[in-house]
Amino acid sequence: MHYKNKINKKILFFRKNEFSNAFLRFLFIYCLAVSFLFLFTMLIYSNLNFSAPLDDAFIYFQYARNTAFGNFFEYVKGEGYSSGATSFIYVFFLIPFIYIFKGQYLIIATYIIGGVCLFVTSYFLYKLIHHITNNEKLAFFGVLLFVLNGNILWGFFSGMEICLIFTFVILALYYIAVPSETYKKILALCFLSLTRPESYILVLIFFIVKIFNRIYNKKEKLLVYLIPVFTGLIYFLLNKFFTGDYMPNTMRAKSNFSLFYFDYTEMIKHGWVFYLQFLKDIFNGGKEHYFLHYSLFFFLIGIMPGVIKEIKNKKMEFFSISFFWFFIGVMATMFSSFALVHNFRYTMPFTIIFILFLVNGLKFVFDTLKISKYSLLVMAILSVFIVFNIFTFFANIINFGRDCNAIYSQSIQAGKWLRENLKDKKVAVNDVGAIQYFFNGKIFDLVGLVTNHQAINFRNGLPGVFEALERIKPEYFMVHIGWFNYEPYTIFKKPKLAEFSIKREPPYYVIGSPEICFETDMSLFQSGDEMLKDFTENGNFILKDKIDICDIIDEKEHSYKIWVKWRGEYPGTELYEENSKYSGKRIIDAGRITSGGEQFKIKNLIPGVDTKIIIRTYNNPRNLLDVFINGQKIGRWLIEETEGFSENEFFIKGDYIKKTEEIIKLEVVSKNRYNSFYYFILQKKT
Amino acid sequence: MERYFRIIKDVPVNLLLFLLGFVFVFQVSLTMFYSNNIVTFSNKFSFYSINRAVDFADSNFTTMKFDINYKKEINGVLYPFVISFLYKIVGKNNIVPLLYVMSFLVFFIISIFFYVVSEKFSGREISLFSTILFITSMPVIISIYSGTDVVLTFLLFALNIYFLIFDVERRKYKGALITSFLLFFCSLTSAILGFISLLYIGLKFFNKKIKTDYNKIISVTFILFFIICAVFLFYILAEKKDLQKTPLFETKTFFVNTFFKDGFLWSELFAPFVGLFFYIGMFIKVFGDIKNKEITFNIYSLFLTVAVLLMEFFSTFSSETETIFFISPFYFIFVLYACYGLYYFSLIIMKVKNINKNFIFTGLFLFVLFYNVILVFNKSVEQNNNIRFIANEFYIQKFMEK
């Protein structure tokens, strides 16, 4: 009997291991197969050329290439560090491959990284589900739910950092849930903190949860978890050191909280509308895109009881951390105008937490309804999820191929064309990924991802970018005409040099408009920098200062502010070009429009001397503005209704000028909005 | 009077006051943020009634005109009548702030009635949770602080429900009859609420006779009710000048939610599965009544739900209406049944009555609460964005002058 029990135990153990080994074998073969499948799909759709479904992947390639050869995080060699890589750490994963794969072949590296990450992620997902459900079959089901989801596979092979976030999130959760050495947890959290700004938020959430636990349990470790917190700061500190700004350019270009002007309530509402839409359409299956209908409900059943229990026991651990990571993590990705693009790639990594607890929720329902683990009903229910996933697989392999084709047809071709035709020229570009990777020349990123301090211009629209172009003076443009359409202006008047179009807008692209190359016509650059009308009174007044509105640098030098009358409104930007009615000279100028007012500093003044402020407007309605100097109201400025570019003066008695620099405030009294393109400050000759 | 103070004996008044106070401060603060520190309402419908009240008061309470600035489904007689007296006391500059304070008091009273009704309806275990979900529901908060006639409608409706449950069951009809009749004067849509209440009282009164031929009488009543309601709501809500140009007929592709202004089972206004639990709760309760051939509050709720679904449908015939300003009292019933359905489900799954140990219920409650908070914030910001568009209207501007 004793021997029989021993043998039975051995058989059981072997069977368990047999399953594990078989599972590992299956997983390995599947990950290998699916990596090849996506690689071949890309090759087929791109006519046997290498491409990626996203232009942004090439940004990482460029950073990795330059860094590998000694130009640390330089996007354009010789121009210094720039913070255009969303993921600091992903670049380092690519660097070893730079020495093996040259040029377009580097894309192969993303399939290797993606495949390995898929394997590791799936394996730890399996172990974690097994740990919380104690059910091998459900763990296997969870892995199938994950690896068969076409959207997730699209993310893993997109060439982006998405696969890394998946991996580090599941590793961190695994080591939180399963008793293990502290160093493993810390290591996973350290990697997570460097993967993306949103994943750094996850690490902060973890630390805050630890603080709460420590309040109720003095034995709770705390200080050691400062290691990942400080590790994550490395990227921000590097940014500050090299660029003067903690935040990376990617956040400045995309985050709603980096807009030139915003109300917090509007931004929060904007993000939360996306958030609820996301919960309903994606996680609850509303759009039949990622998950089956009502998946959110099973997810909540799977996570909420555990969260409540942990809170009641005053020890928040695995369930609570997962809950906060999911809900706050998803929310953190929503405060961006790009939140819903590229197959929701910013939010995609959180699907692994969703799947984990979706499975747990299903298990909960099966257990409490006392449905046998292996019954036909369980199999039927689980198979619905798998069948749905299979269709997502088909859908996304097509999407993947089409996206790769679009990038190859446009961005890669454009980059190669530039290399052949404009090798040493300065080119203003959008999108900047594949174009620069294949061009490897002197580019200026109009969006501001890889060109420092440009993002704020981009947030001011075409007018803001134009003012920056007057300083940069790029010789050529290679742009998506849907993003930077300067065709109505002289700047694009020279003949089009090249055009790269796609037949149809690709599935997960932001805008599929043609990519066009123009030589810049700079004849009108700075044409607006002189007064159109003579306010000097035969030389009795001389120019002391001027402010080019919408020129960020000039505005900053003059401490420029703008506001609106009503919350929820936004001051706009405008760009016009015409022949001046005063001189006949053609000018182009950018400006701002508002219902509220403006404030700015005027400099180089002589105290006690009569002064004039000249405003340049365009098609302005009749306006009445209150004028203040240093908070003191000095009069009302009536600006009559005008057509085209017009200039109007306001006289300030010398008594009001007490210092060499004064703060001028203009406040709208009338109901109309007014615009301003330039301010000139003149003083009487002494 | 003593009876009404007895009502609040077991009500967690302090907690409710705290939560309601928080909601009040949030609503007022947000409005002042968007209106440059002026306490105002963010919709023009409220000012329709306020102006009507002002004109009525200025005419020495003799004439109330309905020739302009009148939305049949939102504006009525009773609310301007009431606030005309308040206007006479406090004047033009203080009427809006006073109405905010009145809304707070109304909300407090309604929440007490909700608690008491919920306790009777679903049991003491979940009454507090139901009440919290009710007072944090987005359409409830937005409507209470809208300044429109729905504030008074809601109060009368809550009172009406209380009387229907506690008095009519014991064959005392006075309170229910009075509130039902008053509902006829709030607006044309609230008249439907009053009508349903009277219908229920009538069915209850003739309960014994109805039982003899229950199925036939209830079916006929239901069909007649449906037809009357549909015709009446079409008259109120359809923009009849050119029926072909109504939003419904201009729809390119029809989906299920095309037929409901606020989504199927009010999916636009609540967390994803709350509508489902409402349906489950109502189904269970009504099924029981029909099976036992009873006329209870659940039959009233069924009629009310059908009427509100018709309101949702006919609202798609109008491009300018805002359902929150006339349907919201229904959410008193909606949340009641939804919480019951949720509790029923969680009892089956967890088999634990004690809410503190029923983690399914507590967990789902927390999620719905979290969802409510986000919805309230979003809708409040959206509503307050209207202020800048209506601020220059003459009939509104005079109340916004500092």
Q: How confident is residue A14, by pLDDT bands cut at 50, 70 and 90?
A: very low
Mean of the pLDDT values across residues A560-586? 93
Cis before B242 (ω within 30): no
- Which tokens go with B179? 């509130």
The model's pTM: 0.87
Answer yes or no: do B360 and A327 touch at CB < 8 A: no
Q: What is the rounded CA–CA span in Å between residue A677 and residue B6?
A: 69
Other residues' Cβ atoms within 10 Å of the Cβ of residue A40: 12
Which among B367, B370, B388 has the least Cβ separation from residue A568?
B388
- Residues of B within 8 A of A567 (CB-CB) are 33-34, 36, 384-385, 388
Q: Number of A to B CB contacts under 8 A, please give it.
A: 87
pLDDT at B181: 96
Per-residue pLDDT tens over the stretch A116-149: 999 999 999 999 999 999 988 899 999 999 999 9
Burial class (CB in 10 A: 0-12, 13-18, 19+), A392: buried
Residue A59: predicted pLDDT: 96
Confidence check: pLDDT of B5 > 80: no
In a domain, B102, yes or no: yes
Assigned domain for B2 exists: no
Q: What is the mean pLDDT of residues A215-226?
A: 89
Query: Which stretches does DSSP call E strand in A514-610?
Result: 515-519, 541-548, 561-563, 572-579, 586-594, 597-602
pLDDT tens figures, B274-285: 998 999 999 989
Residue A338, pLDDT score: 82
Residue of A nearest to B379 (CA): A269
Alpha-carbon B68 to chain mean position:
25
| Contact across the interface for A272 and B362, Cβ inside 8 Å | no
B252 by DSSP, 3-state: which?
Answer: coil
Give CA angle at A483 (A495, A530), nearest 5°.
Answer: 70
Picking from A275, A282, A301 by the largest number of B CB atoms within 10 A of its own CB, the best residue to mutate is A301
Residues A533-547 have a mean pLDDT of 94
Q: How far is A370 from chain B (nearest CA, A)?
A: 10
Residue in A266, A273, A307 nearest the CB of B363: A307
Q: How far apart are CA A656 and CA A609, in angstroms?
A: 9
CA–CA distances in Å: residue A614 to residues A646, A670, A677, A679? 10, 19, 10, 5
Which residues make Cβ contacts (< 8 Å) with residue A214, sequence separation at least 6?
A: A220, A222
- What average pLDDT score do residues B91-107 get? 94
Q: Across residues B237-261, what is the average pLDDT?
A: 74
Phi-psi region of A196 (alpha: psi -120 to 50; beta: other; left: phi over 0): beta
Q: Which pLDDT band, with edges at 50, 70 and 90, does A551 fall under?
A: very high
Answer whether B377 sits within 8 Å of A269, measured CB to CB.
yes
Q: Residue B9's pLDDT is what?
A: 73
For residue B342, the chain A residues in CB contact (below 8 A) are none
Whole-number Å distance between alpha carbons of A87 and A103:
21
pLDDT of A7 > 70? The answer is no
Question: How confident is the model over A72-115, as pLDDT tens digits?
Answer: 999 999 999 999 988 999 999 999 999 999 999 999 999 999 99
One-character DSSP codes across A329-372: HHHHTTSBTTTT-GGGTTTGGGHHHHHHHHHHHHHHHHHHTT--
Residues 6+ apart with CB under 8 A from A648: A614, A615, A617, A637, A639, A640, A642
- The pLDDT tens digits of the residues spanning A313-353 come to 999 999 999 999 999 999 999 998 788 888 889 999 999 99
Model confidence at A510, pLDDT cuts 50, 70, 90, reads: low
Q: Work out the burial of residue A240: count CB atoms within 10 Å of its CB; fewer than 13 is exposed, 13-18 middle, 19 or more buried.
A: middle
CA distances from residue B122 to B109, B125, B389 in whole angstroms, order as listed: 20, 8, 44
| B324 in any annotated domain | yes
Tell me the per-residue pLDDT of B223-236, one tens digit each, with 9 for 90 and over.
999 999 999 999 98
CB contact under 8 A, A280 and B272: yes
* Residue where the block lists tokens 């004849």: A523
Contact B388 A566 (CB under 8 A): yes
What whole-number distance in Å separates Cα of residue A411 and Cα of residue A479?
Answer: 10
Average pLDDT on B355-365 reads 85
Is B355 contained in some domain?
yes
CA distance A94 to A91: 5
Residues A573 and A592 sit within 8 Å (Cβ to Cβ) = yes
Quote the number of domains for chain B: 1
The pLDDT of residue A372 is 64
pLDDT in tens, A235-246: 999 999 999 999
Structure confidence at residue A241 (pLDDT): 95
> B144: domain range?
7-400
Contact B164, B200 (CB under 8 A): yes
| Nearest residue to B261 (alpha-carbon basis) of B303, B305, B316 | B316
Interchain contact, A269 vs B382, CB within 8 Å: yes
Three-class DSSP category at A378: helix
Which H helix or E strand runs over A444?
Answer: strand A442-445
Q: Please answer yes or no on whether B363 and A312 come within 8 Å at the CB atom.
A: no
- Domain-located, residue B1: no
Which domains are seen in chain A, by residue range?
2-401 (no CATH), 414-519 (no CATH), 541-684 (2.60.120.260)
**Would you say residue A504 has pLDDT above 90?**
no
DSSP state of A373: T
Domain annotation covers residue B117: yes
User: Does residue B73 belong to any structural domain of this protein?
Assistant: yes
| Token pair in block for residue A569 | 């409104």
For residues B350 and B359, the answer to whether their CB atoms sit within 8 Å is yes
Separation between Cα atoms, residue A510 and residue A508, nearest integer Å: 7
Chain-chain contact of B359 with A272 (C-beta, under 8 angstroms): no
Q: How confident is the model at residue B83 (pLDDT cuts 50, 70, 90)?
A: very high
| pLDDT score at A512 | 67
Q: What pLDDT, on the 0 to 100 scale, is given for residue B256?
A: 75
Q: State whether the Cα torsion B358-B360-B361-B367 is positive or negative.
A: positive
User: Strand pairing partners for A429?
Assistant: A445, A478
pLDDT digits (tens, 9 = 90+) for B178-198: 999 999 999 999 999 999 999
Are B236 and B317 in contact by the 8 Å Cβ rule? The answer is: no
The angle formed by the CA atoms of residues B322, B323 and B324, to the nearest 5 degrees, is 95
- Per CB-CB distance under 8 Å, the chain B contacts of A300 are 363-364, 367
Q: Where are the beta strands (DSSP E) in A73-226?
A: none
Question: Which residues of A lie closer than 8 Å to B, measured between beta carbons?
Answer: 265-266, 268-269, 272-273, 275-276, 279-280, 284, 294, 296-297, 300-301, 303-309, 312, 327, 364-365, 368-369, 565-569, 671
